[in-house]
Amino acid sequence: MCGRFSQTQDPGELAPRFEARNLVPDWTPRYNIAPTQNAAVVLALAEGRVLQLMRWGLVPFWARDETIGAKMINARSETLSQKPAFRKLFERQRCLVVADGYYEWRKSGVLKEPFRFVLNSGEPFAMAGLYDRWPLTGLETFTVITTQANELARSVHDRMPVLLEPSQYAAWLDFKYHDIAALERFLAPFPATRMKCFRVSPRVNSPRHDDPQCITPLPSQDGFPGFNA
């Protein structure tokens, strides 16, 4: 799954990277984005790509109340075409969820140790997402699509978010592109050789903590291969 992530880059750098026409208003670096909080996503509108803040946790247009969003922070790639909550969104309401790292937890006895996953290059990336608008209030929300973990991520958890390649952005965002079979091929695990992960402070366990200490690497543990800072 994907239960936390970060967006710490300056919006002036993100807009050209994702070919967005605008900057996100009132932007502040985010080191520990949690479900039900706002985060920046990229949409393709008729006038071009835009960066927009949406709330994490999908509230489908047919929902009776918005509390369902806390249970819909992730969507499994394997069942997007079957689940009523995701099927139509997969066809026409896809977005890029902007991030520079995501967190996952490994069980260690009764404790859970947080790890941060990033690209080797340190560059921001796009997680595949779906979005919807709740007509009762106009609330706009998104969910992050997950897939089977690659070799690196599997050491911590059996799922990981779908990280898209830049060459896939245009098709993923195009609301007129309906080749579901082709889109499903985008939902494979990202190459483990292009990623790294490291232990971080348990501060990230609480959404009240949102500061640079959340992303600071801690020393690796002996006897636990595959981790590096």
pLDDT digits (tens, 9 = 90+) for 72-126: 999 999 999 888 889 999 999 999 999 999 999 998 777 889 999 999 999 999 9
Distance (Å, whole) CA 112 – CA 17: 35
pLDDT at 227: 53
Residue 224 has pLDDT above 90, yes or no: no
Instruction: State the pLDDT at residue 89.
Output: 96
Active site residue 91: no
Instruction: List pLDDT tens digits, range 172-213.
Output: 999 999 999 999 999 999 999 999 999 999 999 999 999 999
Q: Which of 95, 104, 140, 197 is catalytic?
A: 104
Q: What is the pLDDT of residues 133-163, one digit of tens each?
A: 999 999 999 999 999 999 999 999 999 999 9
pLDDT for 107 equals 84
* Pairing label, strands 163-164, 139-148: unpaired
Is residue 197 part of the annotated active site? The answer reads no
Nearest C-alpha neighbor of 56 from the set 2, 8, 93, 16: 2
Which pLDDT band holds residue 11 (cuts at 50, 70, 90)? confident
What band does 225 get if pLDDT is binned at 50, 70 and 90? very low
d(CA 134, CA 156): 34
Going by C-beta distance under 8 Å and a sequence separation of 6 or more, which residues neighbour residue 190?
A: 150, 160, 162, 163
> Cα–Cα distance between 130 and 152 in angstroms, integer?
25
pLDDT tens, position by position, 34-65: 999 999 999 999 889 999 999 999 999 999 99
> Domains, the chain, ranges and CATH?
4-215 (3.90.1680.10)
Active-site residue, selected from the candidate residues 2, 95, 197, 214: 2
In which element (H, E) is residue 171 found? helix 169-173
Position 221 scores a pLDDT of 62
Q: What is the pLDDT of residue 226?
A: 46
For position 124, what pLDDT does the model report? 96
